[in-house]
A and B are shown apart, each in its own frame.
Chain A
Amino acid sequence: MGKDVAETFPAARRVFEEIDDALGYSISRLCFEGPEDQLKLTQNTQPAILAVSSAIHAVLEEREAVRRDLVAGHSLGEYSAIVSDGGLEPPEAAKIVHQRGLFMQEAVPVGTGGMAALIGPSVEDARAICEEAAQGEVVSVANINAPGQIVIAGTKAGIDRAIAIAKGKGVRRALPLPVSAPFHCALMKPAEERLKPILEAAPFKDLWVSLVSNVDASPIGTGTALRNALLRQVASPVRWVEVIQRMVSMGVKRFVEVGPGNVLTGLIKRIDGNVELINVSDVPTIEAYLRGVTG
């Protein structure tokens, strides 16, 4: 992940180096060479994804191809979105998300929490399924990713029950996700607590273009607002559908996804079929984008 980008663009390489220095270990080597089981640990996955996204963005920035009116990011991606508008420097952001990953992992003993994807139900139906499955435990909607694409999180037993209930109710697909912890639900409260002082101490700058936040689907820009939104999103659902709808209602016609993969492009396509979508995730897509922007 990101290896070709770092080898091709010096600006990207610099971002990886800065992040490696800040973290005190080589996340770039993990990114480029693995081992896969190390990269899969969320305290590594989080800074790794952030590093790749920030590195690609640095390339676009160097070529002055970053004209935008608003930014947003999905969960961890909010950090990259903030980096992209100068709200945080990549090394600072990487240090925070490394801790974020650790805290999220340590919030719940391994194997006791889970997440599942529900394909088909409305948000209301998904909430009803969670309520029925909870039986005094935590089971709740964690991501509203696209119409009919909902992720739920909670205790392992609760998630198993929710999957059974969903199937009983005729939900098209209900499948457990291979994640190491139940993100974006109340079980993450201990992680939120531990992240608080770290976010408070971090040198946030006010954004110019506003971030449409996961937690409120509302545009924010001050350092204080960014800190609070990043803190609250840890144990709250990612309201991605509303984030995109809000951006479209504000006049956004084109979305450029910057970072490894193209999951968000796929989600946005399902949320609104009328917007232009561009994915910038590797050397060919970076080059194509730069050609398109700079002519």
Chain B
Amino acid sequence: MSTNCRIALDAMGGDHAPEEIIKGALEAAGQPVHILLVGRETVIREHLARLTGSIPSNIEIVEAPEVVGMDDNALAPLRRKRNSSIRICANLVAEDKADVMVSAGHTGAAMTSAYKVLGTIEGVSRPALAAILPRAEGHTVLLDVGANVDSKPAYLREFAVMGHFYAQMLFGIAEPRVGLLSIGEEEGKGNELTKETFRVLKETGLNFIGNAEGRDVYNGNADVVVCDGFTGNVVLKASEALADMIGKLIREELTRSTTRKIGAVLAKGAFADLKKRVDYSEYGGAPLLGVKGGCIVCHGRSNAKAIKNAIRVAREFAINRIDTKIQDKISDLHRRESSSALAVDV
């Protein structure tokens, strides 16, 4: 891996594909990054011809005749649609023709392709999808938000390690505070999974702050919150819906009378800023942590700006070599375990 990062970008995935994806790629092309636009070449060329005079030299087209649709199964790229754009993106990373893949298409299909085609980093059992959630000051990394439905303490420990290094890069801090999502602060609170995980996390050498309650996802007590994918997905979706609902209520209340409407007009800047602070497109995409190379999963609604940001995130991710750091830390944990097991045996 050099600084000249190569990104395999799924041109066909997402609600606004391929137009917005290609626009995003063009916006990113001014930067030191090599973009492989993966999809139907004729379609991509048509769009490029319309959007730009000449194709930038750091954009390359890679043919992928099939597309995974939203009604397809998550396993489609592995079975019926092995020539789909998502699958080809994964192939390119697996063959070291790209460093990271980026897709705004079928989330399940992207994660399955990355997991099965790229494989996991040595020592990692399962990848985890990490979301960045806004809070009043700063952000919180929540993982896993849906790569796995069921989990074990060993997986959650790996998630904690992955979240630690991701937060280091994202926040520029040395020892991110890692919390374990549970239903009470004390060590004994929670279910079997969290109680056992609590015990395991204490021994990792990470900055483990103990259990985090649901509110700690948003109040700034933790930089990283670890949970199983089922719980994380529920938290994420409930949060998104809550934010949407509050937005709707505010709009309703602000348009109820003329005086309020005037107030709303005056406060327009504040609302725009608020929107920017909670806007998914500012973060670009969520990484699937723990796979070899890397995979950035974007929101299906991604517009050109979100794609451009996702390419930025993908580049930063690849350059940082988070995978190596995760691998080293996990093998270190395993080494310590086997040596302590040995001590017990003797």
Q: Cβ of B137: which chain A residues have Cβ within 8 Å of it?
A: 200
The answer, yes or no, to whether B188 is at the interface (CB within 8 Å) is no
Q: Cβ of B319: which chain A residues have Cβ within 8 Å of it?
A: 70, 210, 219, 250
Q: Which of A67, A200, A215, A221 contacts B32 (CB 8 A)?
A: A67
A222 and B170 form a contact (CB under 8 A)? yes
| B-facing residues in A197-212 (Cβ within 8 Å) | 200, 206, 208-210
When C-beta atoms are compared, the residue in chain A nearest to B5 turns out to be: A69
B168 and A218 form a contact (CB under 8 A)? yes
Answer whether A251 and B3 are a contact pair too, CB < 8 Å, given A68-B32, A219-B320, A224-B139.
yes
Q: Cβ of B170: which chain A residues have Cβ within 8 Å of it?
A: 222, 224-225
Q: How far is the CA of A293 from the CA of B26 in the complex (A)?
A: 24
A228 and B320 form a contact (CB under 8 A)? no
Q: Which of A218, A232, A251 contacts B2 (CB 8 A)?
A: A251
Q: Cβ of A251: which chain B residues have Cβ within 8 Å of it?
A: 1-4
Q: How far is the CA of A232 from the CA of B171 in the complex (A)?
A: 12
The answer, yes or no, to whether B55 is at the interface (CB within 8 Å) is no
The answer, yes or no, to whether A220 is at the interface (CB within 8 Å) is yes
B32 and A209 form a contact (CB under 8 A)? yes
The answer, yes or no, to whether B138 is at the interface (CB within 8 Å) is yes
Q: How far is the CA of A250 from the CA of B168 in the complex (A)?
A: 18
Q: How far is the CA of A107 from the CA of B137 in the complex (A)?
A: 26
When C-beta atoms are compared, the residue in chain A nearest to B31 turns out to be: A208
Q: Which of B32, B309, B320 contacts A218 (CB 8 A)?
A: B320
When C-beta atoms are compared, the residue in chain B nearest to A221 turns out to be: B316
Q: How far is the CA of A103 from the CA of B319 in the complex (A)?
A: 34
B3 and A252 form a contact (CB under 8 A)? yes
Answer whether A208 and B312 are a contact pair too, CB < 8 Å, given A219-B320, A250-B2, A250-B319.
yes
Interface size class on chain B is 20 to 34
The answer, yes or no, to whether B169 is at the interface (CB within 8 Å) is yes
The answer, yes or no, to whether A216 is at the interface (CB within 8 Å) is yes
B171 and A225 form a contact (CB under 8 A)? yes
Pick the most buried of A213, A224, A226, A232: most chain B CB atoms within 10 A of its CB.
Answer: A224
Q: How far is the CA of A229 from the CA of B170 in the complex (A)?
A: 11
The answer, yes or no, to whether B265 is at the interface (CB within 8 Å) is no
The answer, yes or no, to whether B174 is at the interface (CB within 8 Å) is yes
| B-facing residues in A13-70 (Cβ within 8 Å) | 67-70
Q: Cβ of A225: which chain B residues have Cβ within 8 Å of it?
A: 169-173
B105 CB to nearest A CB, Å: 24
B119 CB to nearest A CB, Å: 24
A210 and B173 form a contact (CB under 8 A)? no
Interface size class on chain A is 20 to 34
Q: Which of B4, B138, B172, B309 contacts A220 (CB 8 A)?
A: B172
The answer, yes or no, to whether A227 is at the interface (CB within 8 Å) is yes
Q: Which of B31, B173, B309, B315 contacts A228 (CB 8 A)?
A: B173
**Chain A interface helix/strand/loop/mixed:** loop
Q: Cβ of A215: which chain B residues have Cβ within 8 Å of it?
A: 172, 174
A224 and B171 form a contact (CB under 8 A)? yes
Q: Cβ of A252: which chain B residues have Cβ within 8 Å of it?
A: 3
Q: How far is the CA of A252 from the CA of B32 in the complex (A)?
A: 13
| B-facing residues in A218-254 (Cβ within 8 Å) | 218-222, 224-229, 232, 250-252
When C-beta atoms are compared, the residue in chain B nearest to A213 turns out to be: B172
B172 and A226 form a contact (CB under 8 A)? yes
Q: How far is the CA of A208 from the CA of B32 in the complex (A)?
A: 8
Q: How far is the CA of A182 from the CA of B187 in the complex (A)?
A: 44
Q: Which of A209, A213, A250 contacts B31 (CB 8 A)?
A: A209
B324 CB to nearest A CB, Å: 11
B11-34 vs A, CB cutoff 8 Å, 1 = contact: the mask equals: 000000000000000000001100
Q: How far is the CA of A251 from the CA of B319 in the complex (A)?
A: 10
When C-beta atoms are compared, the residue in chain A nearest to B139 turns out to be: A224
Answer whether A206 and B4 are a contact pair too, CB < 8 Å, given A69-B32, A213-B172, A219-B320.
no
Q: How far is the CA of A209 from the CA of B173 in the complex (A)?
A: 19
Q: Cβ of B172: which chain A residues have Cβ within 8 Å of it?
A: 213, 215-216, 220, 222, 224-229, 232
Q: How far is the CA of A29 from the CA of B315 in the complex (A)?
A: 41
Q: Cβ of B309: which chain A residues have Cβ within 8 Å of it?
A: 206
| A-facing residues in B304-322 (Cβ within 8 Å) | 309, 312, 315-316, 319-320
B32 and A228 form a contact (CB under 8 A)? no
| A-facing residues in B224-268 (Cβ within 8 Å) | none
Q: How far is the CA of A206 from the CA of B132 in the complex (A)?
A: 15
Q: Cβ of A210: which chain B residues have Cβ within 8 Å of it?
A: 315-316, 319-320
Q: Cβ of A213: which chain B residues have Cβ within 8 Å of it?
A: 172
Q: How far is the CA of A209 from the CA of B3 in the complex (A)?
A: 9
Q: How far is the CA of A73 from the CA of B308 in the complex (A)?
A: 26
A70 and B3 form a contact (CB under 8 A)? yes
Q: How far is the CA of A209 from the CA of B32 in the complex (A)?
A: 7
Q: How far is the CA of A273 from the CA of B187 in the complex (A)?
A: 54
When C-beta atoms are compared, the residue in chain B nearest to A249 turns out to be: B321
Q: Cβ of B315: which chain A residues have Cβ within 8 Å of it?
A: 208, 210
Known pairs A216-B168, A222-B316, A232-B174 / 4 extra A-B pairs, C-beta < 8 Å: A208-B32, A224-B170, A228-B173, A232-B172
9 contacts between A and B (CB under 8 A): A69-B4, A216-B174, A219-B319, A220-B169, A224-B139, A224-B172, A232-B172, A232-B174, A250-B319
Residues of A at under 8 Å CB distance from B? 67-70, 200, 206, 208-210, 213, 215-216, 218-222, 224-229, 232, 250-252
Residues of B at under 8 Å CB distance from A? 1-4, 31-32, 137-139, 168-174, 309, 312, 315-316, 319-320
- Ordered nearest first, which 6 A-B pairs have the shortest CB separation? A225-B172, A251-B2, A69-B3, A228-B172, A229-B172, A221-B316
